[in-house]
Amino acid sequence: MTIDASLLEKLRAVNDTASFNRWMGLRVASAEEGRVVLTMDWRSDVGQYADFLHAGIIGALIDTACGFAAVTMVGARVLASHYSVNCLRPAVGESFIVRARVVKPGKTQVFTAAEVFAVAQGEEKLVATGETILVVV
């Protein structure tokens, strides 16, 4: 992925204004047109009863990464009108990576997809996938 410094700065600034993203410890790792990578470290307060990353947090990762990917192409604010999450295995790791991409941009809707990986001992494992439909505001 080629990092676009101006997109990266813009998305980091937006991320810093969102108190939920700050609480999650969400970081924008890279950005280019139509693609974004976010990272987050494991903390027990984002876990569920069995100490896996909570599915609600996985959904938030997918929603946020897909929204940021959409912004890189449409240059405007977007809101999710629909998103789906597929939990493939327990999300257990020291940190998490979500990679999102625009599938089809449009003037009023943007279709995106994402993959969430758990990182443990330097190894990435796919733990979830998702898709969003975003409306341009």
> 0.85 exceeded by the pTM?
yes
Residue 57 Cα to chain centre, angstroms: 10
Report the CATH architecture of 5-136. Roll (3.10)
Q: What is the pLDDT of residues 22-73, one digit of tens each?
A: 999 999 999 999 999 999 999 999 999 999 999 999 999 999 999 999 999 9
Average pLDDT over residues 8-24: 94
The token pair at 128 is: 């979830």
User: pLDDT value at position 3?
Assistant: 63
Q: Read off the pLDDT of each residue in 70-82 and give the average, rounded to a whole number.
A: 93
Please tell me the predicted confidence (pLDDT) of residue 2.
62
pLDDT-derived band at 75, boundaries 50, 70, 90: confident
The burial class, CB within 10 Å (0-12 / 13-18 / 19+), for 40 is buried
What was the pLDDT predicted at 1?
54
Strand extents, DSSP E, the chain: 27-32, 35-41, 78-87, 95-104, 109-120, 123-136
Sign of the C-alpha dihedral computed for residues 73, 110, 71 and 34 taken in this order: negative
* Mean local confidence (pLDDT), 99-112: 97
